[in-house]
């Protein structure tokens, strides 16, 4: 976990949501975050693609849609981030 790229607040929220809900399309995640945070679909897509490129999410095509699923167990990622924070302070 030490070599994983850092995460921003929105990235953590999206990663946590996908972890709790299971594999999701951008549309599904965007609907949730539009209601909860007022985020646009394009913003959610950008965050999800960023997470994929950082290695936190995997993307596959199902029925013509891209579906994103956690690649790394989110609970472990968050524990590692807390540990890093404690070490630095």
Residue 65: per-residue pLDDT: 92
Q: Is the pLDDT of residue 46 over 70?
A: yes
The C-alpha atoms of residue 2 and residue 69 are separated, in whole angstroms, by 21
Q: How confident is the model at residue 88 (pLDDT cuts 50, 70, 90)?
A: low
pLDDT in tens, 47-80: 999 999 999 999 999 999 999 999 877 666 666 6
Q: What is the pTM of this model?
A: 0.80
Q: Count the neighbouring beta carbons within 10 Å of the beta carbon of residue 72.
A: 18
């Amino acid at each position: 976990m030490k070599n994983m790229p850092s995460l921003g607040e929105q990235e953590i929220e999206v990663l946590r949501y996908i972890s709790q809900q299971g594999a999701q399309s951008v549309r599904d995640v965007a609907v949730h975050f539009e209601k909860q945070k007022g985020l646009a679909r394009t913003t959610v897509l950008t965050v999800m693609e960023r997470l994929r490129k950082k290695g936190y999410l995997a993307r596959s095509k199902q029925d013509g849609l891209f579906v994103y699923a956690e690649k790394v167990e989110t609970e472990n990622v968050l524990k590692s981030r807390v540990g890093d924070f404690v070490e630095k302070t």
